[in-house]
Structure 1
Amino acid sequence: MALMNVLADLHTHTTASDGMQSPADNVRLAKEAGLAAIAITDHDTVAGVAEALLEGERLNITVVPGVEVSTVAEGTDIHILGYYTNNNDEKWLSRLSSLRGLRDQRNEMIITKLNELGVVLSMDDVIAAAHGESSKEELQAAEVSIGRPHIAAALIQKGFVQNMKEAFDRYLAAGAVAYVNPPRLTPFEAIDWIREAGGTSVIAHPGLYNNDSLVEELVRYGVQGIEVFHSDHGPEEEQRYGQLAAEFNLIVTGGSDFHGSRQGVVFHGEVGSRTVNASVLKQLQPSG
């Protein structure tokens, strides 16, 4: 690619899930940051990829089609990134739809718990906070994924908390009073699903799990890459997972995990704040 910069941010979210910017906005931010490439990796949906690809063509930015699959292992949320899946594969799209159904079920369980705690909130409040006047049916038709940040936004709008941090600390984070984690897909199954859809699987932000034995188990199972560089990884994590990648010949990826800004606070980092060389795209692309 004949661009001065050859860096790629391989982990960003859009309004197709719990990001604040449109897919096209993320591509424009990549252009402003001087990146060569950006991945769109929304939670359990590829609904934002097509728009981003169009904007990428317009701005001469390479858009990597991706997804972040939500799974649970040993009671912990584990996320598996998938790149270059065949997004015309009906089985793959059906599987992602089933995950959004589980996410919807989890959201309803959180709302029920909040109500039991005297926090009067409805799913309509959450949808209004997330996507304005859109109905639940419209969001489902658009394959938009609703998550805990949207519930947090509704808690702020209703005055139950002051900010996102308080919403998660008091109610939504693991161990908080309204946290629920129903049985869901395992990360091993997610790796299989991504492979069967023709894509490449990568462990997202392994430093957030506090479970390196599980991370290594996933590596031995057959995950193809590991997100060494992430906004919530420090130098120690980067070194540790870089060594793991070298030991097992894994693809090394990195990304900001950009979600946009809420109340002036950027989650987790700005577009381009964590990157890898865009040459890694060749490793991520399926061969043949």
Structure 2
Amino acid sequence: MKIDTHVHTTCSDGRKTVAEVFQLASELDIRLISITDHDTVDGYPAALEEAGKAGIRLVPGVELSTRDEDDHVDVHVVGLRIDPDNGPLRSELKLLADARVDARRRLLDRINDYLSDRYDVWEPVSFENVRKRVSGTIVGKPHIAAEVLEAARKTGIEIPEEELYRIFKLPEVETKKAYELTMAECIRLIKASGGLPVLAHPFEYARPDAVMKKFKKLGGVGVELCKYRQKTKMRSIRAIEPFERIMIERQLNMKTVEMARRYGLKLTACSDYHAKNGEPGMETDEYSIDISWLLE
């Protein structure tokens, strides 16, 4: 069965609306899906309605970023089977979303300064114009990139998208969120909303085994097998030819299966789909995944 428990929409930093995601999922015969936008459940209840129309099983979800700690950087935790209407969850997500939007506003200011210093013809991009690209409360880097690249084209400036994302990470440009949760706080928040904490894309981190061990110790329940072939922001993936990425992806996922058994974590499968590369959905049969824990 084809499933995907990590999908983004325009409610955060995805490039397709909730309706477009479900239309694509239906075309690809995905039978179970979770909309897991960053720091928001704005995709609900629309996702519930679209899932009903498409006849696709929906597992409500959200994705949270953890504060850098214990030498672990930017670890993400997905909450599956959450209650999107849970009051404490929504209150905490509001704080996280506000901090994320503030960081993106400061990022755009720095991008405008950076490009103004290099191009006399640069016309600063308005944050309000960026927000028009968003269907929810979250402003993501793809929204900023899209607006900046469009402004660059209009003034005859050539900036490759990959180069712009490199600029985002420069010390004088990059911004940090003023409010973040620890891994332990993320896990507690997800569980308090009736959900199951799942470690996202473990091989994006420098020490996946150490991250997974800590995650389990703090009460984590599952871990993702991931469509790494689409994650070109990972240097190890971007550096190899596309036809070789599937082989690397399987190697990474088999290591995840091994570590999951060691730490007693359940498995799910996903693409972390943002509509930038590839398509959503993974076959559970490929790794013999038992997803009954998602359906209880």
| TM-score past 0.5 threshold | yes
1:271 alignment counterpart: 280
2:192 to 177, 196, 200: 196
Matched, 1:242 2:235: no
Q: Secondary structure at the match of 2:125?
A: coil
Q: Which amino acid aligns with 2:284?
A: V
CA gap of 1:36–1:102, structure 2 versus 1, over 3 A, is same
Matched, 1:126 2:120: no
Q: Which amino acid aligns with 1:61?
A: I
CA gap of 1:222–1:230, structure 2 versus 1, over 3 A, is farther
Shift of 1:156: 0.6
2:30 alignment counterpart: 35
2:57 to 50, 58, 62: 62
Q: Secondary structure at the match of 1:198?
A: coil
Distance 1:49 1:242 in 2: 31
Count residues with an aligned counterpart: 261
User: Contact between 1:17 and 1:145, CA under 8 Å: does it hold in 2?
Assistant: yes
1:257 alignment counterpart: 272
Shift of 1:151: 1.3
Shift of 1:214: 2.8
Structure 1 runs of 4+ with >6 Å offset: none
1:157 to 135, 139, 150: 150
Say what the alpha-carbon RMSD is for the aligned residues: 2.3
Shift of 1:118: 3.9
Higher strand fraction (1 or 2): 1
2:182 alignment counterpart: 186
Q: Which amino acid aligns with 1:203?
A: L
1:284 alignment counterpart: 294
Q: Secondary structure at the match of 2:66?
A: strand
For residues 119-148 of structure 1, give each alpha carbon's deviation from its aligned partner in whole angstroms, at most 9, with x where no partner exists.
4333123224x24xxxxxxx6xxx531111
CA gap of 1:157–1:38, structure 2 versus 1, over 3 A, is same
User: Contact between 2:8 and 2:36, CA under 8 Å: does it hold in 1?
Assistant: yes
For residues 209-238 of structure 1, give each alpha carbon's deviation from its aligned partner in whole angstroms, at most 9, with x where no partner exists.
212223321222211111122334722221
Q: Which amino acid aligns with 1:158?
A: A
Distance 2:183 2:125 in 1: 31
2:218 alignment counterpart: 221
1:134 alignment counterpart: none
Q: Which amino acid aligns with 1:151?
A: I
Q: Secondary structure at the match of 1:258?
A: coil
Shift of 1:177: 4.5
Distance 1:220 1:155 in 2: 42
Shift of 1:42: 0.8
2:4 to 4, 9, 14: 9
Shift of 1:284: 2.8
Identity score, percent: 29
Shift of 1:13: 0.8
User: Contact between 2:268 and 2:289, CA under 8 Å: does it hold in 1?
Assistant: no
User: Contact between 2:33 and 2:58, CA under 8 Å: does it hold in 1?
Assistant: yes
Q: Which amino acid aligns with 1:107?
A: R
Alignment of 1:39-188 (within 5 A): 39-74=34-69, 76-119=73-116, 120-128=124-132, 130-131=133-134, 143-159=136-152, 162-169=159-166, 171-173=167-169, 175=170, 177-183=172-178, 184-188=180-184
